[in-house]
Copies of this chain bind each other. A is one copy, B any other.
């Protein structure tokens, strides 16, 4: 086991996005519609789609929200807390798929709408690592670690969840609020795992 101090991890910023179930793709884009890839994401097999939807509540609307693929067993909406404030929603921080008790919203696509009873969350900030990388540094799936972001707005994110899969690779994912608070941008995008 190698000491995990000072592992450098590229930080990627996740803007608001939606994951869709097959059933909800059908409702929003038409029966058996196949989403089309806009570009691949850093984690193999995951990608940004060309298709977008709107997220609507009684208080407001967020337009042009990109769908991330592939299709999942559940529909999930990930927004920033700043956006939640405008939509007058009060989502909490959840892991993907852990949606019981989360607020809903209406999704609007070109062919129809879906009134979600639940599914809006703030994403749990996390680090991806391959099984080998994780083993080398004794990082277990689900473990919470600390990552320091240097720069004028330097800070240490605690409660960063480790996500391990064979084909994952070192990347940290945070949302736009977290990126803006930490001063993360294209020039300042390296986090340091400090514990």
Interface residues of A (CB under 8 A from B): 80-82, 85, 92-93, 125, 152-159, 174-178, 180-183
Contacts and interface: CB of A to CB of B under 8 A. Distances in A.
B80 A180 contact: yes
Contacts of A176: 82
Contact of A158 (B81, B92, B155, B178): B155
- What secondary structure prevails in chain A residues at the interface with B? mixed
A33 to B, nearest CB: 31
Given A80-B82, A82-B80, A82-B176, A92 B152 contact: yes
A177 B67 CA distance: 24
Given A80-B82, A82-B82, A180-B181, 14 more contacts: A80-B180, A81-B183, A93-B183, A125-B153, A154-B158, A154-B159, A155-B156, A155-B158, A156-B156, A174-B181, A175-B181, A177-B181, A181-B181, A181-B182
22 contacts: A80-B82, A81-B180, A81-B181, A81-B183, A82-B82, A82-B180, A85-B180, A92-B152, A93-B152, A93-B183, A125-B153, A153-B159, A154-B158, A154-B159, A155-B156, A156-B156, A174-B181, A177-B177, A177-B180, A177-B181, A178-B181, A181-B182
